[in-house]
Homo-oligomer: A and B are copies of this chain.
Amino acid sequence: MLHGGRTVTMTFKITVLGTGSARPTIERHHSAHALNVHEQFYLIDCGEGTQTRLIECGINPLKLNAAFITHLHGDHVYGLLPLISSMGLMGRRTPFHVYAPSPMDEVMKNHYKYFDTNLPFEVVYHEIDTTKHTMVYENSVMEVWSIPLRHRLPTSGYLFREKTPALNVRKEAIEKYKLGIAQITAAKRGEDIFDADGQLLARNEELTYMPYSPRSYAYCSDTLYSARAAGLVKGVNILYHEATFGEDNKAMAKDTGHSTALQAAKAAVKAKADKLLIGHFSSRYKDVSVLVEEAQAIFPATEAAEELHTYEIPANRTLQ
C-alpha cells in the first residue's frame, strides 16, 4: 500500500516455531512464536533451538526487536541466551529488549559472567509483573499487554493489539468537495466538514475510511483455564491457548498447571475470539486431532498450531 509517498506494509502475522511441551520430540519443538506487525518482528517465548527455526522460516534474528517471555520454565526460555549470543556474532548493534518475569534479570546477569562477556549490543531487561494486566510495550502502531496466567510459577501471557489507525481521506471526496489542506486535516481528525457559511458540507463518515480495523493476537501459555485471562482478551482475532492435554488427562492437567483442549476452547468462547489456535501439546499425543475435535465441540473455529506455519490476520478493508 502506498501511503504518503512510501510503501507501508500492514502485515500482522504469527509464525509458530514450536508446538511441543516440556519434552521435545522429532516432530515438536519447544515453545516460540514469531510475530510480524507492520514488518517489525517480535518473539514470544524462546525454547531451545529457536534460532535454528527462525533461520528455517526465513526470519533474520537481527530484525527482532524484543522477546516476550511468559515464564521461566526451560522449554519457554532455554533458546534465548543462545539466540542473543548468535546475534552478537552476527554483529548486532541495536539494543534487544527482553520482557520476562523476575528473576530473568538474575539469570541473565549470572550468564553474562561466564558467556558472551563482550556482547556488541545492549540487552535491555524489562520486568513483567505477572499479577497485573498492564501495557508493557508500545510503539506507533501496536500495544502489548500482559495477561496474568495461572501456572506453577509466575507466568504472564501477552496480548498484541494494533492501535486504531489514523483515518484516511477518500480521494473522490477531496475532488468532489474541493477540500483544502485544513479541511483534509480536520477530516483526518474525524471531524465533519463545513463550508465558509458554516453549512455542513459532508459528514466525516462520507469523507474518510479506516485503512484497517485494529487486529489482535493473544498468547496464553502455560496456564490453567483462567476466566480472568479470557475476559482480558475479549474480541481477540486469534487466541493461542495451550492445550497440553485432553479431557482424558484432566487431572494431570490440573496437577501440572496446564489446560485441556476443552478448557482452551472454553477460554476462546468466553473471549469471543475469532479463532483458537491450540498448542504446547504433550508428547503423549502423537496425533493431536483428538484435541482439536475436543475443542471444536464447543468452539468450532479451532486449529492445531503447526510448526513453521504462518497465520496471517489480513487488514480488514470492509470499512472503506
B contact residues around A106 at 8 Å (CB): 113-114
**Chain A positions near chain B (C-beta within 8 angstroms):** 22-26, 29, 48-49, 51-52, 55-56, 72-74, 78-79, 81-82, 85-86, 89-90, 103, 106-107, 110-111, 113-116
Given A107-B114, A114-B103, A52:B74 Cβ within 8 A: no
Give complex CA distance A257, B78 in Å: 27
Give complex CA distance A23, B86 in Å: 6
Given A74-B115, A74-B116, A114-B103, A89:B49 Cβ within 8 A: no
Give complex CA distance A103, B117 in Å: 14
Q: Which residue of B lies closest to A52 (CB)?
A: B24
Whole-angstrom distance from the CB of A177 to the nearest CB of chain B?
Answer: 56
Give complex CA distance A133, B26 in Å: 38
B contact residues around A52 at 8 Å (CB): 24, 26, 29, 48-49
Give complex CA distance A132, B253 in Å: 51
* Cβ contact of A82, chosen from B78, B107, B110, cutoff 8 A: B78
B contact residues around A74 at 8 Å (CB): 81-82, 85, 115-116
6 sample A-B contacts, Cβ–Cβ < 8 Å, listed by A number: A24-B51, A25-B55, A49-B49, A49-B52, A74-B81, A106-B113
Whole-angstrom distance from the CB of A315 to the nearest CB of chain B?
Answer: 31
B contact residues around A86 at 8 Å (CB): 22-24
Give complex CA distance A111, B26 in Å: 26
* Cβ contact of A79, chosen from B48, B73, B113, B116, cutoff 8 A: B48
* Cβ contact of A48, chosen from B48, B55, B103, cutoff 8 A: B48
Whole-angstrom distance from the CB of A282 to the nearest CB of chain B?
Answer: 11
